[in-house]
Amino acid sequence: MTIRKFVPNNLDPDNEKEIARLYGSLLQREIKSGKEYLRQWIMDWSELSSVLNEVYCRRYVAMTCNTQDKEAEQLYSGFVENIQPIMNEYDDKLNKKLMAHPAKDLLKGEFGEWFKAVQVSLDLFSPDNIPLETEENKEIQAYQKITGGMSVEFDGGTKTMQQMAAYMEKTDRDLREKAWKTMWERRLQDKEALDNAYDKLFSIRKQMAKNAHCKDFIDYIFLAKHRFDYTPKDCEDFHESIERFVLPLQKEMYKRRAKKMGLDRLRPWDLDVDPLSRPPLKPYSSGEELIEKCDQIFESIHGQAGKWAREMQAKKLIDPDSRLGKAPGGYQIGFDESRLPFIFMNSANTDRDIYTLLHESGHSFHQFALADQPIAAYRDVPAEFAEVASMSMELIGTSNLKPFYGDDSESIARSIEGELADVVWLFPWVASIDSFQHRLYNFPTHTASDRSDIWTEIMDRYDAGVDYSGLEAVRRNLWQKQLHLFECPFYYIEYGIAQIGALQVWANFKKDPQKAIDDLFKAESLGCSRPIPELFAAANIKFDFTPKTLEPLMQVVWDEMSKF
């Protein structure tokens, strides 16, 4: 825990008057002309932001860990509805005060990247968006209650959607089909509710863009996400490159899988099972064991990674297990004042869980690495590079899977092949989700039916040969399982960009493991203090997602896969 110099140690984070008073004191403070006075004012503002951001994040964790906990829900909602609007309102006023101060230019060397982002925030700010941001958070919370409450009766008990996913690895094809259809019958029961949730969020976001005087929400979100280094056209070009250079590999991968399974065409429940009908890999038996064995991997690949992993284990900063009422998915979140990470996931005793924890641990190491960044803004990392940190750890982790599989070379090979297959699969899915969003936000009057039609067109474009005959209703609504579309719009292309970066880190690791991770952690320590291309360069990789970089990297992945 850092020592507070401005915020009272006994601050009540729900006391609106006290928080407004603290912000007001910053706004009214006379800042002398010397840069040291402005810097101290910035540090005090950052401290207040860090304290309140940590309260928000801890309440978000509590709420998502148990969506049925009414007290946790109320505490989170109260903060979102009462405190965040104060923060947003004063941040705009403080931004104006900062940008008008004559000593600002003297601090450009230290805070120039942040100043650029502040100017964008000023340009986008509208007081009319403050209540809309509150409403958006409430609608996201309502969406999480819908998905967090999904469960089915199957195989003698109540199962969450995450637990049902484990059945997709069962060698009994009839059981897989039954499990898959049971899952999607349950999901489709909430189709209308999810459509309504998306309609509400879409409407809110359109209005936010209009209030900010942007051409449309795409224009708004690219500015809000500080995408200064690429454009919507670059994204569209990336979609096309994936179609040209990755989709053919996915088609071939599925063709080989079907041949091994003795099938003419794969059905959607045939994608995760071992194609040779070997039983599913069972790498661990409890969440605690999953954490322990991943920690052993980190200790074997890099001393600092091992120390950070053990600290998280000791401080119980990981909630690994799936349970009824827990929100779906997985994430890593930073407690900004404590400078500590937290990992949330839904494990189901599958091989994929190893990579989920490796992935989220990569984010956590990033949080540790940038902990000394002086201001809160620099501890909020651009996703394009944040996901390099996480995806790199997935690939690097394949270098030592013995903590899970011992000397069982066959199981290790199966695990690595599955990870590389996921790399191939990811790119077309990224292109599908990102192009879907571009299509929707370029069609602001679309209906739920239009959405399904647009999604079907995209599924056709990136069709890798999976047979959905008789399952058209599911195929038309597959997009609903992607929480990013609801919770964080346009946050998905980053996975594709970052995967290209992670593949380069992995290539560096194969040549010199210590240097590759040292370079990565050095880049991570920069936080958000440099533009994205410079963060990539600091990690000794290129910020480039054109065919020039994509095509040869995918060939490396394919060559590795062909060994199995």
* HEC-encoded secondary structure of 131-163: HHHHHHHHHHHHHHHHHHCCEEEECCEEEEHHH
- Per-residue confidence band for 562, with pLDDT thresholds at 50, 70 and 90: confident
Whether residue 327 has pLDDT greater than 70 = yes
Q: Would you call 477 helix, strand, or coil by DSSP?
A: coil
Give the Cα separation of 195 and 448 in Å (integer).
Answer: 6
**Residue range 99-144, pLDDT digits in tens:** 999 999 999 999 999 999 999 999 999 999 999 999 999 999 899 8
Confidence of residue 166 (pLDDT cuts 50, 70, 90): confident
Q: For 138, phi and psi rounded to 5 degrees?
A: -65, -40
Token pair 């403080």: residue = 94
Both structure tokens of 356? 């989920």
8 Å CB contact between 510 and 517: no
3-state SS, residue 560: helix
Yes or no: say if 280 and 274 are a contact pair by the CB < 8 Å rule: yes
Question: What confidence score (pLDDT) does residue 433 get?
Answer: 98
Rounded to 5°, angle at Cα 45 from 23 and 332: 110
Cβ distance 61 to 46 under 8 Å?
A: no
Q: Tens of pLDDT along 459-484?
A: 999 999 999 999 999 999 999 999 99
Structure tokens at 88: 């947003």
Look at residue 1 and tell me whether its pLDDT is greater than 70.
Answer: no
Whole-number mean pLDDT of the chain?
Answer: 95
What average pLDDT does range 366-382 have in this prediction?
A: 96
Which tokens sit at 254? 């599925």
- For the stretch 190-193, contacts whose Cβ atoms lie closer than 8 Å and that sit 24 or more positions apart, written own/partner, are 190/146, 190/147, 190/150, 191/477, 191/480, 193/146
For residue 401, the model assigns a pLDDT of 98
How far, in Å, CA of 165 to CA of 276, rounded? 19
CA angle 500, 506, 510 (to 5 degrees): 150
User: Is 0.85 surpassed by the pTM of this model?
Assistant: yes
Measured CA to CA, the distance from residue 379 to residue 512 in angstroms comes to 28
Tokens of 246: 């990755």
Residue given tokens 């239009």 in the structure block: 450
The residue assigned the tokens 């490796």 is 358
Contact 261, 464 (CB under 8 A): no
pLDDT at 304 over 70: yes
Contacts 24+ apart (CB under 8 A), 175-178: 176/269, 176/270, 176/273, 177/267, 177/269
pLDDT tens digits for range 235-249: 999 999 999 999 999
Predicted pLDDT of residue 202: 97
User: Token digits for 150?
Assistant: 């999904």
Helices 448-461 and 409-441 pack at an angle, to 10 degrees, of 130
Strands annotated E in 361-483: none
What is the token pair recorded at 433?
A: 């989700």
CA separation for the pair 38, 489 (Å, rounded): 35
Q: What does the chain come to in residues?
A: 564
Q: Read off the pLDDT of each residue in 77-81 and give the average, rounded to a whole number.
A: 94
Q: Can you give the pLDDT at residue 163?
A: 86
Share above pLDDT 70 across residues of the chain, in percent, rounded to a whole number? 100
Per the DSSP assignment, residues forming a β-bridge with 341 are 334
* Coil/strand/helix, residue 305: helix
The pLDDT-based confidence of 563 (bands split at 50, 70, 90) is confident
| Chain position carrying tokens 């590759």 | 516
Coil, helix or strand at residue 109:
helix
Q: Which residue has the tokens 């489709």?
A: 188
Q: Is the dihedral of CA 429, 431, 434, 436 positive or negative?
A: negative
Six-digit token pair at 247? Answer: 């989709």
Give the ranges where 66-128 is alpha helix by DSSP (H): 70-78, 84-100, 108-124
Alpha-carbon gap, residue 186 to 261, rounded angstroms? 28
Residue 564 has pLDDT above 90, yes or no: no
- Please give the full DSSP string across 525-536, using - where no structure is assigned: TTTTSS-HHHHH
CA pair distance 557, 417, nearest whole angstrom: 10
How much is the average pLDDT of 68-96? Answer: 94
What is the C-alpha to C-alpha distance for residues 416 and 370, in angstroms, rounded to an integer? 30
281 three-state secondary structure: coil
Chain Cα centroid distance, residue 54: 18
DSSP assignment, residue 488?
S
Tens-place pLDDT, residues 388-434: 999 999 999 999 999 999 999 999 999 999 999 999 999 999 999 99
CA gyration radius, the chain: 24
